[in-house]
Amino acid sequence: MQFHDSMISLVGNTPLVKLNNVTAGIQATVLAKVEYFNPGGSVKDRIAVRMIEAAEQSGELKPGGTIVEPTSGNTGVGLAIVAQQKGYKCIFVCPDKVSLDKINVLRAYGAEVVVCPTAVDPEHPDSYYNVSDRLVRETPGAWKPDQYSNPNNPRSHYETTGPELWEQTEGKITHFVAGVGTGGTISGTGNYLKEASGGAVKVIGADPEGSVYSGGSGRPYLVEGVGEDFWPTAYDRNVTDRIVAVSDKDSFQMTRRLAKEEGLLVGGSCGMAVVAALEVAKELGPDDVVVVLLPDSGRGYMSKIFSDEWMAGHGFLEDTSTATVADVLR
């Protein structure tokens, strides 16, 4: 019989897919690491497994304990699945810009979700960082993974994502491009690839315009899961050779093109990362292999990026793709 013991053993080993159409005019090979094939639908399943198992081993997380984490959704899903399988409770704290779709997914796995305002400073008592600290203090048996400072976040990518890419490309990868949120993906994967290649692989971070990584002050932007208004310790600043800043509009238009032209229904940070990857790839030759990591699926953004009304309302839509019956019959 062929089966997996539990959902946990399905985490990782995601496929690499060549981008064939959005790459028109580019000589380099551009491959996408499609992380929505993880059981929770995102790259964050990887860090959830590693952070929880490390906390069990260190004794920080005890049987029947409660996991409390500020998360924009994907980390929550990963933690909720692993917690459900292992018998822990979960309380998640989310900023209010996160899609209701994502919040309801967390609740579906049995987690409790507290929603906090985005438009307050990190020091404000209602900021999602402070609310989660308060919940940790007040909940018995609480443990906060803190993906922003937990070394097991980048370590999970050093141990899984990096080696997978090295094997899948048979060591031919020349450039790795990923969005930077906590910085865990780019730091763990990037450091592994640099070590494996003797420093040859170039690591490029993609960042929303306005975020600190590309020199901004933390100005609000709409792409979810990436960019910050502070520097987390999970991010190793020395790993990136270059940071490419991408606007919300370019990110979302590319996200829609990935569905239409590549059959990839992915999230907004994926469109952002692909814009940065193409920016890098257009200067390269036919022997170069650029891998861009796509963190999650587009299913959580149907009422935003994939809604013509929402896109038009933000001025992100130039051509309207919803034809009326009259247009089609004309």
Q: Which of residues 223-242 bind ligand PMP (CB under 6 A)?
A: 224-226
Between residues 65 and 190, which has the closer beta carbon with respect to ligand PMP? Answer: 190
In whole angstroms, how close is the CB of 267 to ligand PMP at the nearest point?
A: 5
Closest by Cα among 249, 176, 247, 240 to 213:
240
Of 127-135, 180-188, 275-283, 304-312, the segment contacting ligand PMP by CB under 6 A is 180-188
Between residues 65 and 210, which has the closer beta carbon with respect to ligand PMP? Answer: 210
Which residues are CB-contacts of 137 (< 8 A; sequence separation ≥ 6)?
none
Between residues 65 and 295, which has the closer beta carbon with respect to ligand PMP? Answer: 295
Which one among 12, 65, 179, 298 touches ligand PMP, defined by CB under 6 A? 179
In whole angstroms, how close is the CB of 188 to ligand PMP at the nearest point?
A: 8
The verdict on 29 binding ligand PMP (CB under 6 A) reads: no
Taking the C-alpha atoms of residue 150 and residue 316, their distance in angstroms, rounded to an integer, is 36
Most distant CA pair in the chain, distance: 68
Taking the C-alpha atoms of residue 295 and residue 258, their distance in angstroms, rounded to an integer, is 14
Question: Is 172 one of the annotated active-site residues of the chain?
Answer: no
The verdict on 14 binding ligand PMP (CB under 6 A) reads: no
Q: How many residues does the chain have?
A: 330
Taking the C-alpha atoms of residue 77 and residue 214, their distance in angstroms, rounded to an integer, is 28
Q: How far is CA 263 from CA 20, 149, 257, 258, in A?
A: 11, 35, 9, 6
The verdict on 298 binding ligand PMP (CB under 6 A) reads: no
Backbone angles phi, psi at 170, to 5 degrees: 50, 40
Q: Which residues bind ligand PMP (CB under 6 A)?
A: 44, 72, 74, 179-186, 224-226, 267, 269, 295-296
Residues annotated as part of the active site = 44
